[in-house]
Amino acid sequence: MPTKLYSSIFPSIFFLSLIFLFLYSTFLPLYTNNDSSSLPTNKFLPSSSPPCNLFKGHWVLNSTKGKPFYDDTCPFHRNAWNCLKNKRDNMGIINSWKWVPKDCKLERVDPWRFLGLMRNRNIGFVGDSLNENFLVSFLCILRVADEGAKKWKKKGAWRGAYFPKYNVTVAYHRAVLLAKYKWNPKQSVVSDEDELKGIYRVDVDILADEWSSIADFYHVLVFNTGHWWGYDKFPKETPLVFYRHGRPISPPLGLLDGFKVVLENMVHHIQKEVPKNTLKFWRLQSPRHFYGGDWNQNGSCLFDRPLEEEQVSVNIFYPFFNCNFKFGLV
């Protein structure tokens, strides 16, 4: 009798064990407390066979879009930039555009899986409003997976959030030029013929304070700069003047040359001082999208569709259009 009982129960136990092992191996990556010192790049970047380039593709109007992840009540919105709350025209059409890579499938972001993969890790964004705008939307999406998310502004962060369910911090550090810069008013009042009101001193070899002490905190860092490097931000009355080792660079650098030197110094610092196992990305910039004038000339953002390919080169911000850098951060 015991032999018959054993022979009838054993197959069931064996079968249940296989199911358990399958479920365990499937969900383990999402819930395992991985060693944060090891962050393999290929774990987070999309993969396919054969490899594809996610940046080559086109925008399509998606009539079967899924339910939005968030609405105008997301606490991480900036009121002045909350297009949903401020009733921006054509938001339905704008949110219906979908990027479709040429030779691969790009799935919709999964906040639960993403935070599961990033458990016990931190993600930092450093740069100008391009990174900030992305961060705000990103935080609102991730909040779906952890409604207990709290605002986080430490270590010099301009804004951010902590997700306690996963022990993940995502934050933005505002450093529009990446390098340290400060306003120096004009000292001499003997002559005002040159209309110079003062200068913005840029120390090309010194980091902006907002991100000078974050290298050991973040496991992923995303850098950008670009839109502030223009004469609309720093006209001849209030120009950028570049310093190295505490002294003005001689001969003086123009805006574009100063931009190159700052980038070279910042990238050198990142490669030297940021831990090698930190995953680092460098974002470029978006084309200008103002209609009827620039941002400071009563321009407005009336577009409800992406720029066509031939329009991009006309609206691109000139420093990156004329520069070719190999940063090697990823």
* Distance (Å, whole) CA 240 – CA 254: 8
Query: Is 219 a member of any domain?
Result: yes
User: Within a domain: residue 300?
Assistant: yes
Q: Parallel, antiparallel, or unpaired: how do β-strands 279-282 and 220-223 relate?
A: parallel
Residue by residue, pLDDT tens for the chain (330 residues) are: 444 433 444 344 333 343 333 333 344 344 444 444 455 444 445 554 567 888 888 889 887 777 888 888 899 988 777 777 777 788 888 888 888 998 888 888 999 999 999 999 999 999 998 899 899 999 999 999 999 999 999 999 999 999 999 999 999 999 999 999 999 998 755 445 568 899 999 999 999 999 999 999 999 999 999 889 988 889 999 999 999 999 999 999 999 999 999 999 999 999 999 999 999 998 877 766 666 777 677 777 777 888 777 776 665 555 544 444 444 454
Question: Which residue, among 271, 279, 169, 159, has the nearest Cα to 219 in the 3D structure?
Answer: 279
In a domain, 298, yes or no: yes
Split into its structural domains, the chain has a count of: 1
> Is 280 inside any structural domain?
yes
Cβ neighbourhood burial of 155 (10 Å; 0-12, 13-18, 19+):
middle
Percent of the chain as helix, strand, coil, to the nearest 5: 30, 20, 50
In a domain, 189, yes or no: no
Task: For residue 270, give its domain range.
Answer: 62-178+208-227+252-327
Number of residues written out for the chain: 330
Query: Does 197 map to a domain?
Result: no
Answer whether residue 287 is part of any domain: yes
Q: Is residue 221 part of a domain?
A: yes
Q: DSSP 3-state assignment of 309?
A: helix
Burial of 183 (0-12, 13-18, 19+ CB in 10 A): exposed
The identity of residue 132, as a single letter, is E
- On whether the CB atoms of residues 223 and 282 are closer than 8 A, the answer is yes
Q: Which amino acid is at 321?
A: F
Distance CA(147)–CA(325), nearest Å, equals: 40
